[in-house]
Structure 1
Amino acid sequence: MDIDARTLRTFREVTLTGSFTQAARRLGYSQSSVTAQMRALERQVGEPVFERLPNGVRLTHSGIVLRDYARQILTLVGEMETALRRPAANPPRLTVGIVPALAYGQQLARVTHIGRRLLSGVQLALRIMGTAEVHDAFKAGAIDGALVLTVVDADDPADLLGEQQYADRSDDLTEVRLQEVEFVPVTGVGRRPGGHGRQVVIADPDCPSQRWLPEFLRLRCDSPPEIHELGSMAGVRAATQSGLGCAMLPTALAADHEEAGGLRPLPGVPRMRWNASLILGRHDTRPAVDRQNLTETLRQATALGRAARPAVPAAEVLGGAGLGGEVLGGGATALDPDTSIAS
């Protein structure tokens, strides 16, 4: 079997997008070229690697096996290409903005550790910035990419960063969805029973994961909670543990502190999930291998921080009419009518 790296990269893009058309658009190929490459690939494999669907494609069992090996092969090819480049006195710099909701200690460490392996020969610089700052940072040339949270199943480009204000700007940016990240509503163990919903601690007022809980409590309690904005998830976690209020934390960040007895789930409020997405400039001239390796770095880093427990897309709760004890999608249940979180 003789499969070249170009074909494997095309195959990887099809698996990421689920569509020959979308893969062709991202790679700058014609759709017929992608289709021809994938047919040739299937002839070499000896059986179909894609199941053709009305609106795209899905991997067969052989396709799943090939995908896992292709990921390893392309990682090695990228490392070889980097190693064969002439050493530079000043390695190329790749600056990535990360919103506070994804910029807690373990997550930053994962990005750095994986980036050292996949982005060898490139200096990766991380910048923590609010969601509202991302577009201006792109415009100023201050960042090459951004790791943000977006709404699950939001297909409208106007919702790229969860704000309609980006509708007239979305042509400048493109989104690569990486993983769904789960968030859990928590409060401090010593918090007075019944006072959970009066105060909410947040890290970024423009991030969908941080806006969700205050809005949920406002709709449930008919009055807005008091909001404390601290700018970092470490600050949010510490303030919540100390009893200042409740918060939405990434499950991976909250888990250790729940076990240690510092946090507990907020009664009657479901776990939720949002997309961790990489935002890139649509007309970025950086080498394709660097963009691909950055995408894979962030995909692996967010996957390691992803929890397996069921959660609910935000739109299924705030977008629906039932906040008074009805069953919500994804196995979570809304507040019991007899439960008061703002009393």
Structure 2
Amino acid sequence: MFDSRHIRTFHEVVSTGSYSAAARALGYTQPAITQQMKALERDAGVPLFARAGRGLRLTEAGEALARHAEQILGSLSAAQQQLGALARLRAGRVRVCAFPSANATLIPPAMAGLLADHPGVRVELMEAEPPESLQRLLRGECDIALAFSYPGAPGEVPEELVEIPLMEDQLTILLPVGHPLARRHAVRLADLAEERWIAGCPRCRANLLTICADAGFDPDVVFTTDDNLAVQSLVAAGVGIALMPALVLAFMCHAKVTGRLVEPHQFRRVSAYVLREHLRVPATALVVEELKRAAASRVGC
């Protein structure tokens, strides 16, 4: 493995024609140049220079290295410039995997804030429900995963990951606007025991079954989908009611559907997850901070 300093010194010796000239150009002593070239020859395993009278000439190996040296130094310079840009947040790419309602509510303001101050940072967005989003993070397919969890639900965070809590997202009941309970500010779960239900993703369905059991009934689940827009359409059509997070209310598109708080209050915790070492990557840490700000702005909405 060649030392880049030795390659740089070798290039200067070749360019100037002598150790002494290279020493003057680089601000070194001539013995320092000699020692570096001896070290480079040891690494190469062959002589690079041969004496020609009082001057130097390149051996065949030296000529081969000289052909590559400029390209090597150019690549190193380009790498240093790119790494400097990444460190100064003038460039960078961050891959975010989030669940649908976070993509629709937390991601847009976070990205707007990011681009306002750091337009060179690029974000790639993908979509997955937990725990698949966390598995993608562990597989290296994304840099940040947004996921949610319910109180008391099983599911430990892998030790390789760091959890950054963002917010508590209150759960609501989606009802047709003509439903008798739609006139209330909040709805007791026990009053919904005779309703038909539309369930969401596996994690959300498991939570629905748990809290309904705590309220004393087993919900009649007639339809299951993790498509939030489909859930709204199904509720509007009178197929059933649904337990949905408040984030979904931000993009409610049906005038025939309304959301009401649940009593007793229920919520899910929304967090960002990153690999521990990735928190040291400037662009990743910046996106996490923007997500925290976006989530804080929604608290109490």
Residues 224-270 of structure 1, C-alpha deviations (whole Å, 9 max, x = no match): 4215332232222232232222223333532675995521427x744
For the pair 1:278 / 2:272, whether they are aligned, the reply is yes
**CA positional deviation for 1:137:** 0.6
For the pair 1:233 / 2:224, whether they are aligned, the reply is no
Residue 186 of structure 1 aligns with an amino acid whose one-letter code is L
- Residues 285/300 of structure 1: CA separation in 2 closer, same or farther (3 Å cut): closer
- Residues 233/259 of structure 1: CA separation in 2 closer, same or farther (3 Å cut): closer
Segments of structure 2 that go 5 or more residues without pairing to the other structure are 1-83, 182-190
For the pair 1:290 / 2:278, whether they are aligned, the reply is no
Residue 120 of structure 2 aligns with an amino acid whose one-letter code is G
> What is the match of residue 115 of structure 1?
114
Segments of structure 1 that go 5 or more residues without pairing to the other structure are 1-80, 155-161, 309-343
Q: Check conservation: 1:101, 1:203, Cα contact below 8 A.
A: no
Residue 302 of structure 1 aligns with an amino acid whose one-letter code is A
Residue 269 of structure 2 aligns with an amino acid whose one-letter code is N
Residues 164-183 of structure 1, C-alpha deviations (whole Å, 9 max, x = no match): 3xx4x621111011222222
- Report which structure shows greater RCO (CA 8 Å, sep ≥6): 2
For the pair 1:163 / 2:154, whether they are aligned, the reply is yes
> What is the match of residue 246 of structure 2?
251
Specify the SS of the correspondent of 2:131: helix
Residue 306 of structure 1 aligns with an amino acid whose one-letter code is V
Specify the SS of the correspondent of 2:167: strand
For the pair 1:132 / 2:127, whether they are aligned, the reply is no
**CA positional deviation for 1:95:** 0.8
Residues 155-207 of structure 1, C-alpha deviations (whole Å, 9 max, x = no match): xxxxxxx533xx4x621111011222222122222458777754332332225
Q: Check conservation: 2:197, 2:219, Cα contact below 8 A.
A: no
> What is the match of residue 93 of structure 1?
93
Q: Check conservation: 2:174, 2:259, Cα contact below 8 A.
A: yes
**CA positional deviation for 1:136:** 2.1
> What is the match of residue 42 of structure 2?
none
Specify the SS of the correspondent of 1:149: strand
- Give TM-score scaled by structure 2 length: 0.57
Match of 1:206 among 178, 181, 203: 203
In 2, Cα distance between equivalents of 1:189 and 1:244: 13
Residues 30-85 of structure 1, C-alpha deviations (whole Å, 9 max, x = no match): xxxxxxxxxxxxxxxxxxxxxxxxxxxxxxxxxxxxxxxxxxxxxxxxxxx96995
In 2, Cα distance between equivalents of 1:240 and 1:177: 31
For the pair 1:146 / 2:145, whether they are aligned, the reply is yes
Q: Check conservation: 2:208, 2:243, Cα contact below 8 A.
A: yes
Specify the SS of the correspondent of 1:109: helix
Residue 214 of structure 1 aligns with an amino acid whose one-letter code is L
Specify the SS of the correspondent of 2:172: strand
In 1, Cα distance between equivalents of 2:254 and 2:223: 25
> What is the match of residue 299 of structure 1?
292
Q: Check conservation: 1:95, 1:124, Cα contact below 8 A.
A: yes
**CA positional deviation for 1:150:** 3.0
In 2, Cα distance between equivalents of 1:86 and 1:293: 9
- Residues 98/265 of structure 1: CA separation in 2 closer, same or farther (3 Å cut): same
Specify the SS of the correspondent of 1:170: coil
> What is the match of residue 19 of structure 2?
none
RMSD: 3.5
In 1, Cα distance between equivalents of 2:249 and 2:194: 18
Identity within the alignment, %: 18
In 1, Cα distance between equivalents of 2:158 and 2:202: 21
In 2, Cα distance between equivalents of 1:255 and 1:281: 30
Residue 180 of structure 1 aligns with an amino acid whose one-letter code is E
Residue 249 of structure 2 aligns with an amino acid whose one-letter code is A
The answer to which structure has the higher strand fraction is 2
- Aligned residue pairs: how many? 209
Q: Check conservation: 2:144, 2:284, Cα contact below 8 A.
A: no
**CA positional deviation for 1:298:** 0.9
Residue 138 of structure 1 aligns with an amino acid whose one-letter code is L
